[in-house]
Chain A
Amino acid sequence: MLGYTITQWLFGILSFMSIMFALMVVFTRNPVHSVLYLVLTFFCIAGHYLLMNAQFLAVVHIAVYAGAIMVLFLFVIMLLNLNEDTEPQKTMASKLIAGIIGGLFLLVLVGALKGAEQLNITRYGHSEAGLMKNLGKVLFKEYLFPFEIVSVLLLAALVGAIMLGKKETKE
Chain B
Amino acid sequence: MINGIPINMYMMLSVVLFIIGVVGVMARRNTIIVFMCIELMLNAVNLLLVAFSTLHGDTSGQVFVFFIMAVAASEVAVGLAILTMIYRNSKSIDSDLLSKLKN
Contact = CB atoms under 8 A, between A and B. Distances in A.
Nearest to B65: A57
Contact of A19 (B13, B50, B53): B13
Interface of A: 5, 7-8, 11, 15, 18-19, 22-23, 25-26, 31, 34-35, 38, 41-42, 45, 48-49, 51-54, 56-57, 60-61, 64-65, 68-69, 72-73, 76-77, 79-80, 82, 87-90, 94-95, 97-99, 101-102, 105-106, 109-110, 113, 116-117, 119, 121, 123-127, 129-130, 134-135, 137-139, 142-143, 146, 150, 153-154, 156-158, 160-162, 164-165
Interface string B1-33: 011111111011101111111111011111011
A7 B37 CA distance: 28
Contact of A102 (B23, B46, B71): B23
Contacts of B24: 25-26
A153 B70 contact: yes
Given A76-B83, A110-B15, A161-B81, A52 B56 contact: no
A162 B84 CA distance: 12
Interface string B38-81: 01100100110011011111111011011101111111111011
Nearest to A103: B19
A160 to B, nearest CB: 5
Contacts of B63: 135, 138-139, 142-143
Given A26-B37, A113-B15, A153-B74, A129 B20 contact: no
Contacts of B27: 26, 90, 94-95, 98-99
B22 A121 contact: no
Nearest to B61: A129
Interface of B: 2-9, 11-13, 15-24, 26-30, 32-33, 35-37, 39-40, 43, 46-47, 50-51, 53-60, 62-63, 65-67, 69-78, 80-85, 87, 92-94, 96
B78 to A, nearest CB: 5
Which 4 residue pairs across A and B have the least CB separation, nearest first? A125-B57, A157-B74, A98-B26, A102-B23
Contacts of A126: 57
A124 B39 contact: no
Nearest to B87: A80
